[in-house]
Structure formats: C-alpha cells, structure tokens
Amino acid sequence: MQTLSSALAAVALAVVMGFIGGVLLFRLPRLRRVLDPLLLSYYAVPVFGLYPILIVIFGLSRWPLIGIGFLFAVVARRSGLERVPRVLLRTARVCRLSPFDEIRLIMLPASLPCVFTGIKLTVVYAFIAVVAGEFVLSGSGFGYQIAFAYNAFDNPTMYGLMLLMLVFVGTLNALLRMAEARLYRRIIREAA
C-alpha cells in the first residue's frame, strides 16, 4: 500500500506540475529558449543521486521516495501545446477568453493526445522510480520486499512480486488507454 500511495502521489504531482510547466514554457518563449538545453539533458542526470538531499529536506519518511518518483516522471512537455492550431488560439483571443478559460477550453482539449501519452509514461516512470528507490534505499514497501526476497535467494517470491507489479502497472496503463479511447469517441461524436 505504501508503494501504491507513493507512486500515485508522484504521478499526481508530475502530471499537474508537468502540465503547468508545459503551459508556462509555451507562453514564455524566452524562458523556453533558456531551459531547453536543461530539459533535453534532464534524463542524463542520475535522479537517485538526489535521494540524500531529499532526505535532508523531507526527513526519513515516504516523501523522499515520492520526490524521486516525481523527479523521474515529470518533464514539462510543451510539444502537445505546440500542436494546437494557431487559429484556435487566435479565436480565443478574439473571444477575449481569460487565460484559464483558454487553457481549459482550447489548449487542453486540443493537446489531449499528447497529454494522455504523457500521463501513461508518467505512470510507468513513477512506479519504476518508487519501486527502484524502495529496492535500494528503503526499509519498507514493495521494492523492499523484492530486494529482501532477492537477498534471501527466494526466487519464486521475488519473481512473483515482480510479475504482480508488472500486471498491476500494465492494468493501470490499459485502463488509461480505455479512458483515452472513450474520450476520443466522445469528442468525435460531439464534433459530428
């Protein structure tokens, strides 16, 4: 349960902060030009090296693992917003929509395919980071149980736990894919 709650907290934080960061980078092109090299090299940084710093900041709790999951899963993705047709953005300005309404009514629906792809990747990355963090750095959780079985040469338990995690994350991803397909069908019905 600790692993699930930590990973879901990391997913929620990563999705919200990733979308907010993507909107900010889309709206502020100068900031985007400054941060582009850093974002392109983001995954070259060993995120688990930041764990001691997170322990100093958050203490010995589950928050450092959530932080590792968040850092591994979040990347401000603006590519979906770049695919929003310019005519829609100009129409929003002509209609004098507030920035919040423009994001809610124009940008988010138009970038939905990229947003769902980002959410699916975020789920996988967050679970990988949290389980790997528990495997190496924690004294409890699902990753710790896998590491304990590994160190005890209990292969059936270790592989069973790994299979259970694979099935769970695969099911979660399949549910997201079904929700995405249902949403697309609804959008197509409303457009027709």
CATH number of the domain bearing residue 86: 1.10.3720.10
Given this model, what pLDDT does residue 145 score? Answer: 93
DSSP 93-150: HHTT--HHHHIIIIIHHHTHHHHHHHHHHHHHHHHHHHHHHHHHH-SSSHHHHHHHHH
Q: Look up the pTM and report it.
A: 0.84
Buried b (16+ CB within 10 A) or exposed e, 109-122: ebbeebbbebbbbb
Q: Which domain holds residue 133?
A: 2-191
**Around Cβ 134, how many Cβ atoms within 10 Å?**
25
Given this model, what pLDDT does residue 186 score? Answer: 81
- At 3-31, the pLDDT tens digits run 899 999 999 999 899 888 888 888 888 99
Given this model, what pLDDT does residue 61 score? Answer: 84
- At 157-174, the pLDDT tens digits run 999 999 999 999 899 989
Look at the chain and report how many structural domains it folds into. Answer: 1
Would you say residue 116 has pLDDT above 90? no
Percentage, residues of the chain above pLDDT 70: 97
CA distance 77 to 115: 9
CA distance 153 to 77: 42
- At 26-85, the pLDDT tens digits run 888 899 889 888 887 877 778 878 888 888 898 888 899 899 999 888 875 656 788 888
Rg (CA), the chain: 20
